[in-house]
Amino acid sequence: MIRGSVAVTTERCKGCGFCVEFCPTKVLALSSAFNAKGYHAPYMEDPDKCSGCNLCGMYCPDFAIYGYRLPKDGAQPKEAAK
Amino acid sequence: MTHANPESVLTGVHFMNGDAACCEGLLAAGARFAAGYPITPSTEVVERFAARTPKTGGLFIQMEDELAASIALQGMVWAGEKSFTVTSGPGFSLMMEHIGFAAMTETPCMFVDVQRGGPSTGLPTLPAQGDMMQARFGSHGDYLTIALVPDSPQECFDLAVTGMNLAERFRIPVMFMMDECVGHMTEKVVIPPADQIPVYPRRHTKKKPGEYLPFEASEDLVPEMAHAGEGYSLFVTGLTHDDRGYPLMNPAQQEKLVNRLFNKILRAADELVMVEEDGLEDADVVVLSYGITSRVARRGIQMAREKGLKVGFLRLKCVWPFPEKLVREIAGRVKAIVAPELNLGQVVLEVERVAAGTTRVIRMPHAGGTVHKPVDIVAAIERGLA
Amino acid sequence: MSTTVDFPIHNPVEDVLRMDRIPTIWCPGCGIGTSVNSFAYALMSTGIDIKKVAIVSGIGCSGRVSGYTKMDSFHTTHGRAIPFATGLKLANPELTVVVYSGDGDLTSIGGNHLIHAARRNMDLMVVCINNMIYAMTGGQAAATTPGASISSTTPYGSFEPELNMAHLVDAAGACFVARWTVFHVKMLEKTMKEALNKKGFRFVEVLSPCPTLYGRRNNLADGLAAMKDYKERSKIRNGAPTHETALVQGGEIIVGKFVDRERPDYLTLMRQQLGANYHPLPPQPDENPEAGVAKEDCCSC
């Protein structure tokens, strides 16, 4: 049962690598794609391991990633209205 | 416009010195919180304030240096209070960065400078008027201030109220340029009842959070204000900024912002002509003076008139902005303007600039430490007529 | 899995940030933004009214935090955030005032104010981001720069002894002193929450990488290398005497909560001393009855 997931705002990312390094279950890796500024943003390489602990979000200096727990009823996430 | 709070006003007829009268004026104008640092000959202002305020609500905090005092008072302003500080030459120099910060962030407040002999430590207990240019140009960059100069303890009260009111109206730091003589002389001071003392209230916005832009100019180029803790999500910075207060650091915004800071005062230049005049209409020579020097000038003029000379008396109560139109007009029709001051030539430079060669300008430099002699004023008047 | 209801994803930190100014000016791998996360989560978990929070910062990279926080924020002059914050707090004690600035700003040019605010036990929380360099101006040596570091003003290596901020502030009289690095995000959040809930002068030092200036010149490849370095060298010693917490180059980074004591804060002392001489603020004459939010008579806390 996948417990969590992350939402990445690619354009904010500066590719520092904190989230990749400090994810406790090694879910993330830096993508080979890059954003408009040329940085490689993270993506979930191993999504099944994500617990939604949001340590990635806590580490991110640019507020570009946010980890969240998936609800048990299986509802799908949608972006919050801005 | 409203009036003073009776709780803060010491209505009555007093025998007090200029420093004490200044304190009472600031209290009457609505200042309840202040920060300061001791420096002769200004300290009595805040010593009195420290005794008066806790009983009328409010606080004086003696900070660890003038740098702290000059910005702590601005924190008090942004928390919703009217505030000021007092100092003398060396402290005035230290406060310059924060005077600029107040000008840039449009923080209404007052800086009282009880001038003494300089430069540097100079003559701590003796008068001078050597900070007049500094009052206009002391901080870096382009900004305008209003500088008021009292000539008596009574005026220390009256003009302190005026100064605080102007600060609120224009959202600027106002320079209150006393000197050691006026500060330490003891004279009759009449403090009216509170309802006869006009007080300019904080120009607080009536707009709700979300509609309000902290640095959006009103009709008179002055923005409305809001305070911390009211839900307006303010951002205040000394960086060049836009109407939201957000840094916007490019030449176009610099031009827009700095010119507005200038123009909000320049536009009102005619209203800010505050002078006392006597005998200007048919004068051959006019003596232009301010502060303590004007009291000697009065006597000198009296002596000159007794000799049959036609001399006019022009005393500036507001030195910055300089009353250009008035002085230019006078320069156009008199033989000379005599400008005594307790410095080696500061405000006289403005007279010369504005007169632009249309009249003789007689400087009366004085390094400070005491006042001019009336006979020297007479001699200068006679030089002007020669 | 069957889908029934959508739920929105929203990073709660965005509620206290000016999202219209993101992305930040900070370099890739700079830890200042990380500390802001800890602070934001700590603040939101205390339940303090965000509208009554004021952030005051000085000049420098860390001073730019005030530009990103949605609370009433003041970007003041270099070194003088603490006296400005003092003025704010004294004139409106209902405000929760947090000073957020850098090591150079707070301890060099601002050192005098740091000492006196601690001495007075002014009710302020100070978050001091320590990246051991003057970053914004191009990487000059700071009072906290470890010995023999290369910086733009010490091209042959610095040789001044470093300042132990925790010790200084403790000696001056602070009632709460702690140090963490931005590697310790969770501990930092917990400590910041404790600090927010305490009264008096609280000082939280936060070590952060400066990859572009300090790191680049001193064999720390990037922010990540510095973070790994923190992880390796940090030693948690809660309650350590602050004179033993000096940061030694290449040595242990002592972190933890060092000081947590009770001392009456400035306003409490004032009221005690003034006694009957102190009256709460009378209302000012009513000039603008409809204007904004009325400020209640304060000084009852």
User: Which tens digit of pLDDT belongs to each residue from B115-159?
Assistant: 999 999 999 999 999 999 999 999 999 999 999 999 999 999 999
As a whole number of angstroms, the distance between CA B377 and CA C211 comes to 68
pLDDT at B369 over 60: yes
The pLDDT assigned to C296 comes to 31
Please give the average per-residue pLDDT across B178-191, as a whole number.
98
Q: Do C77 and B54 touch (CB under 8 A)?
A: no
The pLDDT assigned to C74 comes to 98
Phi, psi of A73 (to 5 degrees): -80, 0
Non-local (6+) Cβ contacts of B91 within 8 A are B37, B39, B42, B66
Using a pLDDT cut of 70, give the percent of chain C over it.
91
pLDDT band at C147 (very low <50, low <70, confident <90, very high): confident
Which pLDDT tens digit goes with each residue over C14-34? 999 999 999 999 999 999 999
As a whole number of angstroms, the distance between CA A52 and CA B75 comes to 42
As a whole number of angstroms, the distance between CA C219 and CA B26 comes to 58
Q: How far apart, in Å, do the first and last CA atoms of chain C sit?
A: 54
Phi, psi of C6 (to 5 degrees): -85, 145
Q: Closest Cα to residue C70, out of C83, C81, C58, C55?
A: C55
- State which of B157, B183, B199 marks the end of a domain: B199
Q: Closest Cα to residue B366, out of B337, B346, B384, B386?
A: B346
pLDDT at C299 over 60: no
Which pLDDT tens digit goes with each residue over B279-312? 999 999 999 999 999 999 999 999 999 999 999 9
pLDDT at C8 over 70: yes
Does residue A76 sit within a domain?
no
The pLDDT assigned to A78 comes to 67
Do B143 and B281 fall into the same domain?
no
The pLDDT assigned to B171 comes to 98
Which C-chain residues 51-80 have CB contacts (< 8 A) with chain B?
51-52, 54, 56, 66-67, 70-77, 79-80
pLDDT band at C100 (very low <50, low <70, confident <90, very high): very high
Non-local (6+) Cβ contacts of B198 within 8 A are B1, B2, B3, B161, B165
Q: Do C86 and B75 touch (CB under 8 A)?
A: yes
pLDDT band at B229 (very low <50, low <70, confident <90, very high): very high
SS3 A48: helix
The pLDDT assigned to C287 comes to 46
As a whole number of angstroms, the distance between CA C151 and CA C159 comes to 11
Q: Do C28 and A22 touch (CB under 8 A)?
A: no
The pLDDT assigned to C281 comes to 66
Interaxial angle between packed helices B66-78 and B96-105, expressed in degrees from 0 to 180 and rounded to the nearest 10:
20
Please name the member of C72, C90, C287 whose beta carbon is closest to the beta carbon of B233.
Answer: C72
Do B144 and B19 fall into the same domain?
yes
Does residue B229 sit within a domain?
no
pLDDT band at C282 (very low <50, low <70, confident <90, very high): low
Does residue A13 sit within a domain?
yes
The pLDDT assigned to C284 comes to 52
From chain C, the residues in CB contact with A66 under 8 A are 9, 11
From chain B, the residues in CB contact with C51 under 8 A are 229-231
The pLDDT assigned to B60 comes to 96
Please give the average per-residue pLDDT across A26-41, as a whole number.
96
pLDDT at C2 over 60: no
Which CATH architecture group holds C17-273? 3-Layer(aba) Sandwich (3.40)
Please give the helix or strand (H or E) that residue A67 lies within, else none.
Answer: strand A65-69
- Residue positions counted in chain B: 386
pLDDT band at C5 (very low <50, low <70, confident <90, very high): low
Buried b (16+ CB within 10 A) or exposed e, B192-220: eebeebebbbbbbbeeeeeebebbebeee
The pLDDT assigned to C297 comes to 26
Residue scoring higher pLDDT (B56 or C298)? B56
Q: Closest Cα to residue B197, out of B153, B156, B157?
A: B157
A23-27, B9-13, B179-183, C277-281: range with lowest mean pLDDT: C277-281
Does residue A73 sit within a domain?
no
SS3 C27: coil
pLDDT band at C7 (very low <50, low <70, confident <90, very high): confident
What chain B residue is nearest to C70 in terms of C-alpha separation? Answer: B233
pLDDT band at C116 (very low <50, low <70, confident <90, very high): very high
Which pLDDT tens digit goes with each residue over C25-61? 999 999 999 999 999 999 999 999 999 999 999 999 9
Please give the average per-residue pLDDT across B192-200, as a whole number.
97
Q: In chain A, how many domains are there?
A: 1
Q: Do B204 and C291 touch (CB under 8 A)?
A: yes
Average pLDDT for chain B: 97
Interaxial angle between packed helices C111-120 and B66-78, expressed in degrees from 0 to 180 and rounded to the nearest 10:
60
Does residue A15 sit within a domain?
yes
Do B194 and B339 fall into the same domain?
no
Do B173 and B31 fall into the same domain?
yes
As a whole number of angstroms, the distance between CA C121 and CA C172 comes to 9
Point out which residues pair with B289 in neighbouring strands.
B315
What chain C residue is nearest to A39 in terms of C-alpha separation? Answer: C28
pLDDT band at C292 (very low <50, low <70, confident <90, very high): very low
Phi, psi of B227 (to 5 degrees): -120, 165
pLDDT at C73 over 80: yes
Does residue A14 sit within a domain?
yes
Which pLDDT tens digit goes with each residue over B250-263? 999 999 999 999 99
Please give the average per-residue pLDDT across B50-77, as a whole number.
95
- State which of B167, B199, B231 marks the end of a domain: B199
- Determine the structural domain holding residue A23 and report its residue range: 4-67
SS3 A79: strand
Does residue B313 sit within a domain?
yes
- Determine the structural domain holding residue B294 and report its residue range: 275-385
**ipTM score of complex:** 0.95
Please give the average per-residue pLDDT across B356-384, as a whole number.
97
From chain B, the residues in CB contact with C52 under 8 A are 229
Does residue B355 sit within a domain?
yes
Which pLDDT tens digit goes with each residue over C172-192? 999 999 999 999 999 999 999
pLDDT at B57 over 90: no
Does residue A79 sit within a domain?
no
From chain B, the residues in CB contact with C90 under 8 A are 33, 59, 61, 72, 75-76, 79
Please give the average per-residue pLDDT across C269-295, as a whole number.
63
Query: Angle at the Cα of C263 (from C261 to C268), degrees rounded to 5?
Result: 150
The pLDDT assigned to A79 comes to 58
pLDDT at C298 over 50: no
pLDDT at B354 over 60: yes
Write the CA distances from B248 to B172, B240, C68, integer angstroms: 21, 6, 14
pLDDT band at C283 (very low <50, low <70, confident <90, very high): low
pLDDT at B231 over 70: yes
| A7 CB neighbour count, 10 Å cutoff | 16
Kindly state the tokens that stand for A37: 């500024």
Please give the average per-residue pLDDT across B367-372, as a whole number.
97
Using a pLDDT cut of 90, give the percent of chain B over it.
98
pLDDT at C279 over 90: no
Q: Do B78 and C88 touch (CB under 8 A)?
A: yes
Q: In chain B, how many domains are there?
A: 2
Q: CATH no. for residue A62?
A: 3.30.70.20
pLDDT band at A74 (very low <50, low <70, confident <90, very high): low
As a whole number of angstroms, the distance between CA B102 and CA B71 comes to 8
Please give the average per-residue pLDDT across C226-236, as a whole number.
97
| B326 CB neighbour count, 10 Å cutoff | 18
Do B188 and B279 fall into the same domain?
no
Average pLDDT for chain C: 91
Does residue A75 sit within a domain?
no
Domain boundaries in chain C? 17-273
As a whole number of angstroms, the distance between CA B28 and CA B130 comes to 29
Q: Do B61 and C292 touch (CB under 8 A)?
A: no
As a whole number of angstroms, the distance between CA C236 and CA B228 comes to 37
Q: CATH no. for residue B337?
A: 3.40.50.920
The pLDDT assigned to A35 comes to 95
Does residue B232 sit within a domain?
no
How far does Cα B293 stand from its chain's mean position?
A: 16
Please give the average per-residue pLDDT across C101-111, as a whole number.
97
- State which of B199, B224, B243 marks the end of a domain: B199
What chain C residue is nearest to A40 in terms of C-alpha separation? Answer: C28
Does residue A21 sit within a domain?
yes
Which pLDDT tens digit goes with each residue over C259-276? 999 999 999 999 999 988
Write the CA distances from A67 to A17, B381, C40, C187, C262, integer angstroms: 15, 84, 16, 19, 38
